[in-house]
């Protein structure tokens, strides 16, 4: 049997509120996890690839080459003069 005290405690227990808070917290955790994954992909994939393209690998003959010339080789669009004027598009 349920005593009056137990019944009164259960009556004040708002399940809808607790479920709402749990859903909010789980959404925050998922958003944080996605943000961390994007940051890690930027650090471990995008940044090294960008550095590789900007400074070029030595085995392809692009090491320490003029950056607009590298852009022209990679994109097959324009020449080094074009890329020297439009460097914002590459970076």
Kindly state the average pLDDT of the residues 75-88: 75
- pLDDT higher at 6 or 38: 38
Whether this prediction's pTM lies above 0.85 is answered by: no
Neighbour tally for 56: CB within 10 Å: 19
Burial class (CB in 10 A: 0-12, 13-18, 19+), 32: exposed
User: Which pLDDT does position 90 carry in this prediction?
Assistant: 54
User: Which pLDDT does position 54 carry in this prediction?
Assistant: 67
Tens-digit pLDDT profile for residues 49-69:
777 766 666 666 555 566 777
Tens-digit pLDDT profile for residues 13-35:
677 888 899 999 999 999 999 99
């Amino acid at each position: 049997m349920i005593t009056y005290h137990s019944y009164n405690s259960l009556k004040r227990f708002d399940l809808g509120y607790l479920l709402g808070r749990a859903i909010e917290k789980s959404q925050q955790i998922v958003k944080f996890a996605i943000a961390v994954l994007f940051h890690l992909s930027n650090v471990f994939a995008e940044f090294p690839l960008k550095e590789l393209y900007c400074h070029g690998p030595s085995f392809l003959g692009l090491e320490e080459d003029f950056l607009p010339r590298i852009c022209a080789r990679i994109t097959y669009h324009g020449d080094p003069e074009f890329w020297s004027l439009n460097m914002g598009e590459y970076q």
